[in-house]
Amino acid sequence: MESKLIRLTVNGREEAVVADPLATLQDVLRDSLELTAVKSGCGQGGCGSCSVLVDGELRLSCLTLAERVEGAEITTLEGLNETNAIVPLQQAFVENYAAQCGYCTAGMVMAAKALLDRNPAPSRDEIVEGLSGNLCRCTGFAPIVRAVEQAARALSGEEAS
Amino acid sequence: MPELLRPGSVDEAAGLIGSHGAAAAVLAGGTSLLREIWPSDAGYLIAVDGLGLDRVEARDGGWSIGAAVPLRALREAVPIPALQAATREIGGPAVQNMATVGGNLFARAPFGDLAPALLALGADLVFASADGEATQPIDAFYAAWSDGAPPRAGLLIRIELDEPAGASAYLKCARRRYSTPSVVTVAACVETDGGTVSAARVALSGASAAPFRCGAAERAVIGSALDDAAMAAAAAAAEAAVTPATDPVATDWYRRRMAGVFVRRVLAQLA
Ligand SMILES: Cc1cc2nc3c(=O)[nH]c(=O)nc-3n(C[C@H](O)[C@H](O)[C@H](O)COP(=O)(O)OP(=O)(O)OC[C@H]3O[C@@H](n4cnc5c(N)ncnc54)[C@H](O)[C@@H]3O)c2cc1C
Ligand code: FES
Ligand code: FES
């Protein structure tokens, strides 16, 4: 099949890549743009490790055709901070030992960001629901939930000050 | 690899589906299709975003819901308890942002968790074909399924939903909370008149080859109070009516038992 020029806005930058018309956003982000925080756990929508934000909404890049998000704002973990320093949400993951092998972590952080952007003060149950599409197979979910709780507290503290 | 086609209008999309027949597959959110498509023999994917089918319009006494409305947008636009509960129980947040109402109505068991809610609420489905629009009650759509698969129904363009006359509730029986396939899902909509049930719709998904309305469970409660005896009779009727399958999620035996248990529980929410 003929390749196609696909124009994407990723982490605030205009990108143009030549790809198969049925290339997934995951393939384009990882292979063409080398944004490897986007992981490839299952390719089936089941693990959440490929989670990105499209116009601020959580999406699975493995089930999104790159061609269909032309014109949208795509954010990967790399785009959370332009200087590549870790942001408070990531710091909360570090402090709560919420990553062991780290394979799920970028997806978890993106799911947590999508949740906190909509709901800065989630209950524990809302955090569990917000992360429910993301699987961790080694750390366990308790430290991850604690990290998001801490990030939420930090966020509301920041807003108060 | 299939070819991706991007029609510019509903008429053009319906025309492509008509002319390509079995070689065409409608691509909505892609959360089912893109998992299955790679080894599939579909020659053409007909994308239905950009056709204006992603809007919910409130009209007099109800809603017109575009087939390409994502599940989360449906939850935010239509404040009916059964529908809101159903959309929260399908996949996780990312799936709910991507998966569409139309795509879910075509999902095969153990998926298809929205169907019981729309069956219990008495929705109508509107299809477009080269011959124009045709409206079908949702019960008739599912009655036409065979071997757990939908008929070649053409392009679903919208769902017409009237404000329910009664109270509605929805429950999903699953192995864990959130983002998990169902054992069974049930929904009910009940109208009462002076303590007596005057109308009832009870529907199940995952319990038979296709989602269905359980007339026997409905008859068990209509004309009496929604008390323990009536709910037990409806549960027994549902257990007798389902024809469940065994799959990695649950055995047929467990699904049958849970069909009864969850019909009783969903009715208890309305008692
Ligand atoms: C991680 C994960 C978890 C999931 N969990 C659940 C769950 O808990 N419950 C559940 O019910 N489902 C679940 N699903 C299954 C499924 O993805 C959803 O049912 C979803 O709603 C399908 O919608 P879609 O828009 O993505 O459809 P697509 O994948 O685009 O299409 C699905 C099917 O519907 C047809 N179709 C779509 N739109 C139309 C239309 N307008 N007219 C005619 N045909 C059409 C397509 O041709 C295709 O056959 C899950 C999927 C994933 C990836
Ligand atoms: S790789 Fe996308 S959900 Fe697993
Ligand atoms: S840290 Fe290893 S999968 Fe989550």
Question: What ipTM was assigned to the predicted interfaces of this complex?
Answer: 0.95
Asked if B160 contacts B123 with a C-beta cutoff of 8 angstroms, the reply is yes
Among candidate residues A105, A113, A112, A110, the one with its CA nearest the CA of residue A135: A105
For the stretch B180-205, pLDDT in tens is 999 999 999 999 999 999 999 999 99
How many C-beta atoms lie closer than 10 Å to residue A155's C-beta? 17
**B25 Cα–ligand 2 center, Å:** 22
Tell me whether B95 touches chain A (CB under 8 Å).
yes
pLDDT at position B148: 86
Residues of chain A contacting residue B25, judged by C-beta atoms under 8 Å apart: none
Are B47 and A68 a contacting pair at CB < 8 A? yes
SS3 of B12, please? helix
pLDDT at position A8: 97
Residues of chain A contacting residue B99, judged by C-beta atoms under 8 Å apart: none
The low-confidence residues of chain A, meaning pLDDT below 70, are: 1, 158-161
Q: What percent of chain B has pLDDT over 90?
A: 88
pLDDT at position A51: 98
Mean pLDDT of B142-162: 92
Index of the ligand 2 atom closest to the CA of residue A62: 2
Residues of chain A contacting residue B4, judged by C-beta atoms under 8 Å apart: 21-22, 65, 67
CATH 1.10.3720.10 is the classification of domain B167-270: no
Are B35 and A57 a contacting pair at CB < 8 A? no
> How far apart (Å, rounded) are the C-alpha atoms in residues B26 and B46?
5
Question: Residue B64: which H helix or E strand, with range?
Answer: strand B62-66
Touching A: B residues 201-260, CB under 8 Å: none
pLDDT at position B152: 81
> How far apart (Å, rounded) are the C-alpha atoms in residues B46 and B98?
17
Asked if B65 contacts B74 with a C-beta cutoff of 8 angstroms, the reply is yes
pLDDT at position A70: 95
> How far apart (Å, rounded) are the C-alpha atoms in residues B29 and B96?
10
For the stretch B3-20, pLDDT in tens is 999 999 999 999 999 999
CA B170 to chain centre: 12
Asked if A55 contacts A123 with a C-beta cutoff of 8 angstroms, the reply is no
Q: Is a pLDDT exceeding 90 seen at residue B123?
A: yes
Mean pLDDT of B242-270: 97
pLDDT at position A128: 97
Asked if A93 contacts A109 with a C-beta cutoff of 8 angstroms, the reply is yes
Return the ∠ at Cα A106 (arms to A101 and A110), rounded to 5°.
Answer: 150
Could you say which of A22, A68, A133 has the minimum Cβ distance to residue B95?
A: A133
Residue type, B185: T
Asked if A74 contacts A85 with a C-beta cutoff of 8 angstroms, the reply is no
**B225 Cα–ligand 2 center, Å:** 48
Asked if B205 contacts B180 with a C-beta cutoff of 8 angstroms, the reply is no
Are B179 and A132 a contacting pair at CB < 8 A? yes
- Give, in words, the CATH class of B56-162: alpha beta
Closest chain B CA to residue A135: B179
Are B31 and A21 a contacting pair at CB < 8 A? no
Among candidate residues A93, A94, A96, the one with its CA nearest the CA of residue A111: A93
Tell the residue number behind the tokens 């930090």, with chain if given: A154
**Which residues line ligand 3 at a C-beta cut-off of 6 Å?**
A 99-105, 136-139
Residue type, A24: T
Domain residue ranges in chain B: 3-47, 56-162, 167-270
Asked if B92 contacts A48 with a C-beta cutoff of 8 angstroms, the reply is yes
Are B4 and A20 a contacting pair at CB < 8 A? no
How many C-beta atoms lie closer than 10 Å to residue B194's C-beta? 6
**Phi then psi dihedrals of residue B124, to 5 deg:** -115, 145
Q: What number does CATH give the domain A4-79?
A: 3.10.20.30
> How far apart (Å, rounded) are the C-alpha atoms in residues B74 and B116?
15
Q: What number does CATH give the domain B3-47?
A: 3.30.43.10
Are B93 and A130 a contacting pair at CB < 8 A? yes
Q: How is domain A88-160 classified at the CATH fold level?
A: DNA polymerase; domain 1 (1.10.150)
pLDDT at position B37: 64
Q: Is a pLDDT exceeding 70 seen at residue B39?
A: no
Asked if A16 contacts A5 with a C-beta cutoff of 8 angstroms, the reply is yes
Asked if B199 contacts B191 with a C-beta cutoff of 8 angstroms, the reply is yes
Index of the ligand 2 atom closest to the CA of residue A63: 2
Q: Is a pLDDT exceeding 50 seen at residue B158?
A: yes
In angstroms, the Cα distances linking A56 to A70, B34, B78, B124, B207 are 15, 22, 22, 33, 37
Domain residue ranges in chain A: 4-79, 88-160
pLDDT at position B130: 87
**Which residues line ligand 2 at a C-beta cut-off of 6 Å?**
A 40-43, 45-50, 60, 62
Both tokens of A102, joined, read 């780290």
Residue type, B240: A
pLDDT at position B40: 67
Mean pLDDT of B211-218: 98
Starting from the CA of residue B173, give the closest ligand.
Answer: 1
Residues in chain B: 271
Starting from the CA of residue B73, give the closest ligand.
Answer: 1
For the stretch B67-116, pLDDT in tens is 999 999 999 999 999 999 999 999 999 999 999 999 999 998 889 999 99
Question: Residue B157: which H helix or E strand, with range?
Answer: strand B155-162
Mean pLDDT of B156-176: 97
How much is the pTM?
A: 0.96
Among candidate residues A28, A51, A146, A102, the one with its CA nearest the CA of residue B179: A51
Mean pLDDT of B227-241: 98
Min distance A73 CA to chain B CA atoms (Å): 15
Among candidate residues B66, B31, B30, the one with its CA nearest the CA of residue B155: B66
For atom 31 of ligand 1, the residue with the nearest CA is B103
CA B49 to chain centre: 20
